[in-house]
Structures are given as structure tokens and as C-alpha cells.
Amino acid sequence: MTILDHTSLCAPDMPRAGRTVTRRSAPRLTELDAMFQDMGELIDSVLDRCLWADEEIEAAQLRHGERGRGPLWNSFRLLKLTHDFAWPELVYRAHCRELLDRVAAGIDTRPATDAEKISVLSAASQVAPLNHGAETLYLRIGSRMLPGIFDGIGDVLDMPAYETVHGSRADDYEAQLSRKLAQPWRRIGATAEEIDQLLNTPHE
């Protein structure tokens, strides 16, 4: 049922004295329906990501033997999405796992994750074909991040040969992406106030 089905919300049965009834047009109500649908999908997407993040935190605690409210338990803020578009579940979970493993090892969480890097490469490939160095990096990151999906690529492409010929350029691209996509706010132990301050601070 949409808002168009709720005729009682569109106009009263009888006009009040001294007031003119304003009739809502169907197109305007259709636009309103679309807006509510978009809002609902956005809320569902946010709730889904919260659930995935919670599950990955619990899995990381088991993986690293953390009990109680340790660094991993307190890492939810670090798992904030860093792109305007929503990632598929597999990509977002891989992003969370990489960050949580960094937290457990005490490694800097600010540099770009594999998910952040491959998302940029994927977007670039929609505009123009990737050169061999970028293509090699895409395949390298994909194999590292989602081995179950990228394992079959070895049956089609000779990845060791790609790495031998184009690996050096791929290394340069990866270093650039790690630096340019770094998130200064994403620091282990940062409070909500510190994160807000860092998010509002311009950086190169």
C-alpha cells in the first residue's frame, strides 16, 4: 500500500468554513511515494551495514581471542562507509575484516583498505579501460580480498606473468591509492568528538 491509497491523508471529506480545499495532484503524490521508498531503502541499507559490522566485530573477537570490551569491541566507528555509494555485502565485510585485523595487530588504520582501493579501480574501469598496471593491481587486490571469487581467474589469465611484466607499475599505483584514499579520522581509540573534528578538517 502506498500513500496514494490513503485518500484520507490527501484531503478532508468536507472543507472547513472559510478555507479552500487544495487538491493534491497524482504526480506530486507519486513523487512523494518515490521519496518515501528511497528513504526506506536508505534506512534498510544503513541497518544492514550495522548488522554486518557487528557480526564482523564478533568474528574478529573470536579470531583474535578478545574478551569483553577491548579494542575490537570499540572499533565500530572505524567501520564507517567512506564512499557515497553503498558497497555490496562481500566488499563491505572485507573492508571491516581488514580494519579489524589491523586493530588487533596495532597497525595504522588510516591507509586505504583493499575495498576502498578496488572500488576506485572499479569506478575508473566504467569510464575507460584500465591500463595493464591498473588491471594487474585490480586482479591482485581482488585475489587478496575475495580469493573465493577471484581464484578462477588463474584458469584464464597468467597472473604470475602479469605481475612479472606489470607488477612494478601496479606497486606504484597501490602506493598512490593507499596515500590518496587515506582516512585521517580513522584512528584506533579516537572518540566520537575527535572523529567529527578530523572529518571536518581538510586534508590532501
Q: C-alpha grid cell for residue 184? A: 585521517
- Give the sign of the dihedral formed by CA 22, CA 23, CA 28, CA 33: positive
pLDDT digits (tens, 9 = 90+) for 168-196: 999 999 999 999 999 999 999 888 787 77
Burial letters for 48-85: b for 16+ Cβ neighbours within 10 Å, e otherwise? ebeebbeebbeebbeeeebeeeebbeebeebbebbeee
Q: What is the pLDDT of residue 55?
A: 96
Query: Band of the pLDDT at 89, cuts 50, 70, 90?
Result: very high
Top-confidence residue, 18 or 199: 199
Q: Is the pTM of this model over 0.75?
A: no
Q: State how far the Cα of 137 lies from the Cα of 171, in Å rounded to an integer.
A: 8
* Closest-CA residue to 149 (of 118, 179, 170, 125): 118
Judge whether 175 and 167 are in contact, CB under 8 Å: no
Query: Band of the pLDDT at 24, cuts 50, 70, 90?
Result: very low
Residue 34: pLDDT over 70: no
